[in-house]
Chain A
Amino acid sequence: MRPGSIGRRTAGLGVVVLAIAGGLTACGSSGGDDGAPAGAGEGQASGGGTYTIWDPYPQFDKSSDWVRLLDTCGSQAGVTVERAGYDTTDLTNKALLAAQQGNSPDVLIVDNPVVSTLAEAGVLTTTEESKLDVSALSPNLLAAGQAGGKTYGVPIGANTLALYYNKEVLEKAGVDAAGVTDWASLTAALEKVKAAGKKGITFSAIGTEEGSFQFLPWFWGSGANLMKLDSAEGVSAVALWADWLKKGLAPNSVINNTQTTSWQEFATGDFAFAENGTWQLANAKKTGFDYGIIPIPGKGGGTAPAPTGGEFVSIPVQQDVARYAVAQQLVSCLTSTDNSLTTTTTLSYIAPTEEVQVKQVEQNAELKVWVEAVKAAKGRTSDNLGTKYPKISEPMWKAVQAALSGSQSPQEAMTAAQSAAASATR
């Protein structure tokens, strides 16, 4: 009897101890909750030169050029680099949570429209604080990472949108791609293609940020400004798309297309044009038909400003400011002229500096049109919109969807969007 009861008692005590220990650990790890980022910073420093880098490129594994470059930059700075790749939509919330817990990574690579959000949250250091040199960078690309006169990171590369076309389809329809220079000539080309029994153009107008991203070249190309969605120009951009759908020049499925499904439509070989990005270049070679690329035309001609895609390399705020020096070395290494060519080729981006852009075109003449497009491109959060942009973008994509699905006229849709955006940004 006795040994049994002692055994039971010990077991019980053990469970209590475990539970208490568990509770204590839980308290310990949530210590950062009250905004005092304790521990993490010092912990990393005492780890003997391990620096963390978070990027949105989970597709690259340890053997990839990208991760090898990170390791090289680490050893040049005399530290070990610990890298984690996250899904890009996941990364914003991960970064915010990490900042809340006081264990931000030393270097954070994020999608450019997120930079202003993180900057507003106080998560990122300015380039002044971190002593990053931004003088060589193209101002139109850098603008996406600027808010209130301060710069919060360095673009690692940029991509943007242009029009891919199927040479065979255009030839059969008797259309010369070089003649497509404004909206009128584009619509005329689409009509000819339709008359020849093929399909006109595909794009993505899905009800997410992706839809706004694809709509912006037409919106900006009309001369409209995001602060006034319902201007005559803005309405004309929506009307252009809505008319294409009404006339059957663009398929109805665009309303639900992501950029990937839109690309799949183009890859069938039935479509004359597709609005898509630099990142599809590798896939374009696999389609099995001859393709070409032209910039997206503005309403009255010229190249329309397309939104820039691509990430910014930034240095999150740390408790231990001594860490910035090494972080700065890492960022400089990743974005240096020598490495930029490798980085941008690996990520299929256009370089953020003129110097490297020239080298890229030397290596691959096909990139010329993309370099032009990137030069004309514009950050979504530029024009000092910053965190106002997301509040404008959502009503805008809804309005585009309403007009394309026919539930509202372009004018009604944009008027409603403007009042929603105005009240959200007030």
Chain B
Amino acid sequence: MKGKNLKSWLYLLPAVIFLACFMVYPLVDVVVYSLEEGYNSASQTYTGVGIYNFSYVLRDPYFLQAVKNTLILVVITVPLSTGLALLISVGLSSIKKLRELFQTVYFLPYVTNTLAVGLVFMILFKKTAYTDGLVNLMISWFGGQGVDFIDGPYWAKMFVLCFYTLWIVMPFKILILTSALASVNKNYYDAAKLDAATPWRIFTRITLPMISPSVFYLIITGFIGAFKAYSDAVALFGVNLNAAGMNTIVGYVYDMLYGNSGGYPSYASAAALILFAIVFTITCINLTVSRDHVYY
């Protein structure tokens, strides 16, 4: 038995080593960092222990800007992407011809490099001295006033960020919802149809309750994902997000850690923990709400 135990642990050893070094230890360490005041990364010394790092971060205007940006992004993209994905998935599951083609096309953004395609979005939306860009051209077709979405007013930049985020997150949501819809037994629809339920009533009374676990799963992961937004913003506005006023919380963490403004792992840790607290709280709220509304 002893030999058997030993052998089992041998199988687990690589995984345990990796997890211990790169997950468990960092997890403890990040808390330690966040409490070490005046940490100097060059000399690896600190002056005291306390919550100064948290209060510094919470007063930092860049952090507050990042929180504001992230919140706006979350509030706009999570409901919008879930709703739109629901609409598209319902449409998708009501057709037979071309269905597979549409599904494949819709999934494409999932396998693309966020940074690379972000560049395409940038040139589509950007207005330079040489060209107004395609989107502004379209706006002018409808008689609108062009605007630089990349270096222009705040709302325009936020619009592109939300738009690009939407484009990136839709494939996953469409995929999850189409497979949820496909797993609903067709008999329920037939029964409801025979009972003269209108399509809208079938959707709200039958379809939605049946796929509610998937919808809530998407809302929860959607919140988590949107709170961690970063690389899409970098793709659109470049690495200096603070200058563009478009930083996100995760962006703030990395900026504190590295780059021109970096070298403050303590502040980064504090910000990361604050982010984790926010996400954790929202997830708990989501789970509580879903328990009341998901019938499974």
Question: A and B: real partners?
Answer: no
Residues of B at the A interface (CB closer than 8 Å) are: none
A-to-B contact residues, CB < 8 Å:
none
